[in-house]
């Protein structure tokens, strides 16, 4: 619907005694609030993700990306920046990290990534992110409306028509969110109830992992405990039912497996018949063959192929898998999850290595040809050291002289700018495109980037402001750069909604409106910014 059609539609609803209500003002407010509910957002963004997945299947160069954001303002500024620099938000998403919710958004204070934070704090952040993204729309459209009024007042019909065309083709800041539901925060019913909260807040894509909820660990830490496939599938089904109950039929599920780095399980899977999924899960258990005559009190046994086997059980009452089975278990997890209703996979690896990831994906694609990954370009990896070591090992295998480099200290600044350092940096630069092409990665994300950027920028500001630079530490490193780089929030009153408020005051009170954006507003000092 065009701008003029929206005005006409608004005018059709008017009562004759509604004096002072202008159809164009109503149309503007409707355009600034395009998404009425979180379900509107979930349906809209699910369609975008489905289209992007099809585009990736046609050409892996069409991979997608996101950055993890722990506050609505951070997500808003990210999308404003993307639109400013690239002119479109196409194939750029938001990622909502459970780690950052635990560390930054819990009423308990900072917590480790062990699902101890309040379960509803995550959907609350989904809602907050979309509130800020919708406000970014309202702010930008408000500026376009003011420019339209200025063009009309100046009698510039051509400019007015150009602005109307821009309004008709406006691209929203609202993009898909991949939201972390951890291990589901309880049983399948708890997962279903929580999933509905996520979806009602606007999430079109939920990521769930195959760890035990009450034993949950960060994917990059030790001590991870996985669950049998049937337990995990029940939660995948619970999320799918939640999507379908709420009318988001094309909602997406990312099945994350931590099996590559997890050597423990809490349960021995139930087996109905030899070779079924429970039997396959149990086949990875580390067992000793035993004789019935030598059984100990309290031993737990399983039988296989006519033999009695005793799974190795730890004092924690957990069972351990055989060493070296992580990749096989991971591949089985992925195939079973996709066959049970998941749409995308997440394999948590111990290092960013295209060949390793691609090797597992190739095995999965032998069974499911269009299998695709969401991949964590994790800050838990030492990217510099990992890639310098990869280059070192490659050169050494090729017989190239590496005597100038000490593999154990490749992180050293001494290697910045060297041939090895430069090649490693180039591999880091092209990692996402290479992995999308060679390892089936549809979506690349960084889980915790804005956690780290906030820490780094705050450290730099504190060092300068509280040191000898004083106020210059802020002005030179922050405000001056905001102005010169065109950072929107240099006009922080505008970013917080003062101009939107002024527009509404004028709608409501006409010439009597007491507006904040007058001649004495100090924000006018940034008019050229």
> Is 218 noted as a catalytic residue in this protein?
yes
CA 39 vs CA 43, 134, 203, 389, 526: distances in Å: 6, 14, 8, 47, 38
| The two three-digit tokens of residue 370, written as one number | 């269009």
Task: Give the integer Cα–Cα distance in Å for 127 and 197.
Answer: 10
Phi and psi at residue 193, to the nearest 5°: -65, -40
What are the C-alpha distances in Å from 485 to residues 458, 481, 528?
Answer: 19, 6, 12
Could you give the dihedral angle defined by the CA atoms of residues 500, 501, 506 and 507, in that order, rounded to the nearest 10 degrees?
Answer: 70
Q: At what angle do helices 121-153 and 188-201 cross, to 10 degrees?
A: 10
Cα separation, 240 vs 333, whole angstroms = 18
Q: Which among 52, 16, 137 has a CA at the least distance from the CA of 344?
A: 52
**Catalytic site residue from 69, 204, 205, 218:** 218
CA distance 211 to 62: 31
Which residues, in sequence order, are CB contacts of 126 under 8 Å at separation 6+?
38, 96, 177, 179, 198, 201, 202, 203
Whether residue 106 contacts residue 121, with contact meaning beta carbons closer than 8 Å, is answered with yes
Residues with active-site annotation: 218
């Amino acid at each position: 619907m065009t701008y003029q059609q929206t005005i006409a539609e608004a005018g059709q609803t008017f009562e004759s005694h509604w004096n002072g209500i202008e159809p164009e003002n109503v149309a503007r407010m409707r355009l600034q609030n395009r998404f009425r509910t979180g379900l509107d957002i979930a349906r809209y963004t699910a369609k975008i993700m489905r289209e992007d997945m099809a585009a990736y299947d046609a050409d892996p160069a069409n991979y997608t990306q996101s950055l993890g954001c722990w506050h609505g303002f951070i997500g808003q500024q990210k999308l404003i920046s993307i639109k400013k620099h690239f002119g479109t938000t196409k194939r750029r998403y938001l990622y909502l990290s459970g780690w950052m919710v635990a560390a930054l958004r819990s009423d308990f204070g900072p917590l480790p990534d062990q699902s101890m934070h309040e379960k509803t704090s995550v959907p609350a952040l989904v809602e907050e992110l979309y509130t800020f993204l919708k406000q970014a729309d309202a702010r930008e459209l408000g500026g376009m409306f003011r420019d339209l009024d200025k063009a009309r007042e100046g009698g510039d019909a051509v400019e007015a028509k150009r602005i109307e065309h821009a309004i008709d083709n406006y691209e929203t800041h609202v993009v898909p969110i991949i939201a972390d539901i951890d291990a589901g925060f309880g049983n399948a019913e708890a997962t279903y109830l929580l999933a509905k909260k996520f979806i009602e807040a606007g999430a079109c894509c939920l990521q769930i992992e195959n760890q035990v909820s009450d034993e949950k660990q960060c994917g990059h830490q030790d001590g991870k405990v996985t669950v049998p496939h049937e337990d995990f599938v029940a939660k995948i089904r619970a999320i799918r039912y939640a999507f379908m109950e709420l009318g988001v039929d094309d909602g997406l599920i990312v099945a994350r497996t931590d099996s590559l780095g997890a050597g423990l399980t809490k349960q021995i899977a139930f087996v109905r018949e030899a070779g079924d999924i429970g039997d396959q899960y149990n086949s990875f258990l580390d067992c000793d063959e035993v004789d019935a005559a030598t059984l100990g009190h309290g031993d737990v046994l399983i039988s296989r192929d006519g033999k009695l086997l005793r799974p190795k059980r730890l004092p924690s009452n957990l069972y351990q898998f055989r060493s070296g089975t992580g990749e096989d278990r991971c591949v089985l997890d992925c195939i079973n999850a996709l066959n049970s209703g998941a749409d995308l996979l997440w394999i948590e690896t111990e290092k960013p290595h295209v060949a390793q990831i691609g090797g597992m994906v190739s095995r999965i694609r032998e069974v499911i040809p269009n299998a695709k990954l969401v991949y964590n370009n994790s800050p838990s990896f030492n990217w510099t050291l990992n890639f310098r070591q990869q280059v070192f090992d490659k050169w050494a295998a090729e017989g190239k002289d590496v005597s100038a480099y000490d593999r154990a200290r490749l992180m050293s600044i001494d290697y910045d700018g060297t041939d090895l350092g430069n090649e490693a940096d180039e591999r880091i630069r092209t990692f996402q495109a290479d992995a999308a092409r060679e390892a089936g990665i549809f979506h690349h994300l960084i889980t915790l980037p804005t956690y780290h950027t906030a820490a780094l920028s705050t450290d730099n500001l504190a060092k300068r402001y509280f040191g000898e630079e004083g106020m210059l530490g802020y002005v030179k490193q922050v405000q001056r750069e905001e102005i010169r780089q065109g950072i929107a929030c240099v006009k922080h009153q505008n970013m917080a909604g003062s101009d939107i408020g002024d527009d509404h005051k004028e709608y409501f009170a006409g010439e009597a409106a007491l507006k904040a954006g007058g001649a004495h507003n100090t924000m006018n000092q940034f008019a050229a910014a």
